[in-house]
Amino acid sequence: MGHAQTRGYYDDFSGWYERERGRGYHAMIDDLEMEIVAPLARGARALEVGCGTGLILERISRVADDAWGVDLSAGMLGKARARGLKVVQGSATHVPFSNASFDLVCSFKVLAHVPDIGRALSEAARVTRPGGHMVLEFYNPFSLRYLAKRLAGPGAISAERTEAEVYTRWDSPWTIHRILPPGVDLVDFRGVRIVTPAAVVHRVPGLSQLVRRAERACVTSPLRFLGGFLVAIIRRRP
């Protein structure tokens, strides 16, 4: 899928993107991702690559000194601008900022949909200052989420499209080690969505709170390597 097709996919997705994001399973994922990125965003100049409608970027902007977002989709960016966020149009493989512009570069649910992953990772490193950090999320094949996706099949993203229309990659922890660009160090991993068998469990009162507590406890535990969303914390060498 080329940039024009991908842009059309996400422009279409922008209409449905926030339908479930404020509650249940999706709210939990956003909360856990924010808890990972917040300590590094505090007081920093931060960039979110693939900011979408700005749900995470808005929260980053509350703790960062300066926060920017970049996204391929004009539809997504329109909603982010409506939130008063600073965003520009661009792609993960062509980030429209100069070298060493940010203390922190983060990306969630985006890199898994980039065929040229090497270029995307090099771009993230390029715009990170020496000594700065990247918080980059990958999809993990060794996870309950992967199994659930295989069993359930592609989900709908609009009235006419499904997830099958966009490229998706799944990277194991050791694959991530191999694809990182020169000049960076992988500090650690965090795991998100480890024990949730299906998103529907977060609609069950009582069970939802129990699973949420278990997920939070697992983020930094040895079980983190089984996270459906595998978050790599990476440092650019000084």
Confidence (pLDDT) at 213: 96
- Cα radius of gyration (the chain): 17
Judge if pTM exceeds 0.85: yes
User: What is the DSSP-derived secondary structure letter of residue 57?
Assistant: H
Confidence (pLDDT) at 8: 57
- pLDDT tens digits, residue range 11-50? 555 565 666 676 789 999 999 999 999 999 999 999 999 9
Which domains are present in the chain? Answer: 3-236 (3.40.50.150)
Q: Is the pLDDT of residue 75 over 80?
A: yes
The helix or strand, by DSSP H or E, that contains position 24, with its residue range, turns out to be: helix 24-41
Q: Exposed, middle or buried, 4 (CB in 10 Å: 0-12/13-18/19+)?
A: exposed
Query: What gap in Å lies between CA 186 and CA 133, rounded to an integer?
Result: 10
